[in-house]
Amino acid sequence: MAMRKILCSTVFLCVAMLWAMQEPVHATTTGTCSFCHSRNLADCVGCHGQSPSGTQNIIPVPNGGGIPQVLHHMSGGDLAGGNFYYVADGYNPDYSKGHNVAGISQREFPPKDTPPGFIGSVIIPGGIGPMTWSQTNQLTCAGTWGCHGDRTVADPSTAISGAHHADDSIIDGLTVGTSYRFLYGVKGREHPTWEYQATPSNHNGYRGDSSYSAMDTISYFCGQCHGQFHPHSNLGGNSNVSSSRVWHRHPVDISFSTVQVGYAGSEYQNYTSYSLDVPVAFTNPTGTETTVDMNSIVMCLSCHRAHASPYQSMLKWDYSTISTTGGTKTGCIICHSQKSN
């Protein structure tokens, strides 16, 4: 669910709307308190999903700024994290296309009620993740059973409380408010309009680490729930990602320089210009990278949306139409460039 500050606590619900799109510095909140605190928006979805049938992906607010919408019906307006519209109850949902978050979708039943690749009691920023994921625990926006905020705190509102008031001009991952998109512990660079009308030279900057030793990458964050998909020793480790079974799981937090045959002469070497359709991570991201090279890092969000997408498995493209014939360079073929003639 990697969008710019998409969650609101009950108390500090919509403060980010007053400053979220101000450039170049994203700093502590200014504006009229009553605009947020007197509004009956109640929870995260109430603020960031105000009009599921509406056609606004960012709702403007007085004094400038806007509220990113994670649930809307704007054609061509999906933000970086995707759009829960594709899985939202009441709007012809297909649960295979995204996360089924409480307040948006019903809890799925076994075997899809537990995150794929889940490992209990993994190390997360500030503590340890849940030991088990029972059928009574549906995915939430924030907290222990969610993505945003402090995952050592069960209550979503408490887990995110106060973060919208933080000065996040430096994204260092040390607090919820100074973490990338309020994903506690994650570093990166935030596009000011959540990648709406982003360009290959002005986009989100994703942090990666091909040594598998860092906990502040976007892929490690995904691995907190999908641990068997990440080679960090805190999570699944190489035995789960399994280099001996290449097609079992796609590797993440891996640079092109570490592919088995090396980057030069490989099927990846023709991916040289940054693509918004298949973004890559960097050791020290700036959000202005235009070049992809041997040190660029494949991550979870290279292929998937964080919230939901129009396609199966939250992919950024229709996997069923990807072909190695015809010379089309889309989806998988952008990285695996030599697979297409």
pLDDT category, 324, cuts 50, 70, 90?
confident
Phi-psi region for residue 5, left (φ > 0), alpha (ψ -120 to 50) or beta? left
Q: What is the pLDDT of residue 200?
A: 97
Tell me the mean pLDDT in the region 161-190: 96
Q: What is the pLDDT of residue 82?
A: 98
Range of the domain at 328: 1-341
Q: What is the pLDDT of residue 1?
A: 43
Please tell me which of 6-10, 230-234, 301-305 the model is most confident about, judged by mean pLDDT: 301-305
Asked whether the predicted pLDDT for residue 205 surpasses 70, the reply is yes
Q: What is the pLDDT of residue 327?
A: 72
Out of 234-238, 284-288, 293-297, 318-322, pick the least confident.
234-238
Residue written as token pair 């089924």: 100
Number of domains in the chain: 1
Tell me the mean pLDDT in the region 308-337: 91
pLDDT category, 259, cuts 50, 70, 90?
confident
Phi-psi region for residue 89, left (φ > 0), alpha (ψ -120 to 50) or beta? beta
Asked whether the predicted pLDDT for residue 109 surpasses 90, the reply is no
Cα separation, 19 vs 21, whole angstroms: 6
- For the stretch 14-59, pLDDT in tens is 433 333 333 334 445 555 665 566 566 668 998 999 999 999 999 9
Cα separation, 254 vs 283, whole angstroms: 11
